[in-house]
Structure 1
Amino acid sequence: MLYTLCQAAKACGKNKATILYAIKKGKLSATRNEREEWQIDPAELSRVYPKQVESVEPKPVEEAFKIKLLEEKIKLLEQVVSDLQEDKKAARADVLQWQGVAAHLSEQLKQLPAPHNEEGGAIIDADQPPAQKAAGGQRGGFWSFFWPWF
């Protein structure tokens, strides 16, 4: 079975242009069929572009060293995760404690009598909103800083 240009390129791991260049230079013999497609003999292709066998076997010493190193990294990361989880639990406990303190102080503050001025009236009335600006009333938007009459 003869290869086409595309099949030959896939078979030897080269580009189609590389195979065609070798044909044009005469390094690789090929013929054209009735549809003007290149026909390349597999033996001829392997003569010009021999199959390269890649060494897939890893070196056992390097692999063992890498495995040991990765195991140590995993142990270290597991320890970091465990420490962070403990810190998170401690922070949650602190938040709950401070929320309890804030609630307790809020209750105590509500039980205190309101401060009075010299005439005996309350200085702060909890039911009224805070006073507006004395002179200008409610503060304007962004442009009121540059043009206060707006």
Structure 2
Amino acid sequence: MDKLSIREAVKHFDVSRPTLQKALKSGKISGVQDGQRTWTIDPSEMARVYQPRQDEVEKVGGQEHENLSTKNTPLPGQFEALKEQLADAEKRAAVAEALADERGRHIEDLRRMLPAPEAPQTRRRWWPWKSERS
């Protein structure tokens, strides 16, 4: 599919020219600017950010497209595969949590085996008479 100019993109998608120019300059959508400072934008990039106009069938690059946006419909078997992946991840999380608990108990046991820390020594003051008067 051919790339769109800003004029074509505004015509086919629900966006104004200034909004589209700001989005291109800020990087919200990607496009290519040639040596004459003319932008060209991939239609899939436009469909990612903006909704196509619904009033008529769009003609883009000589081809007709009913709807340029994609729908998030799961593929057959994808739902079951995702359920299995989730169950596997939950099992791994439970094992990791049990291992963390075991390591925590081991660390506490090792801490109990350590000797008690010595009391810190008090520093001797430079001016001993200040501590006597206070």
Give the TM-score category using the shorter length: 0.3 to 0.5
| Greater helix share, structure number | 1
TM-score (norm 1): 0.33
Structure with greater proportional strand content:
2
- For the pair shown, which has the larger CA radius of gyration, 1 or 2? 1
TM-score w.r.t. length of structure 2: 0.36
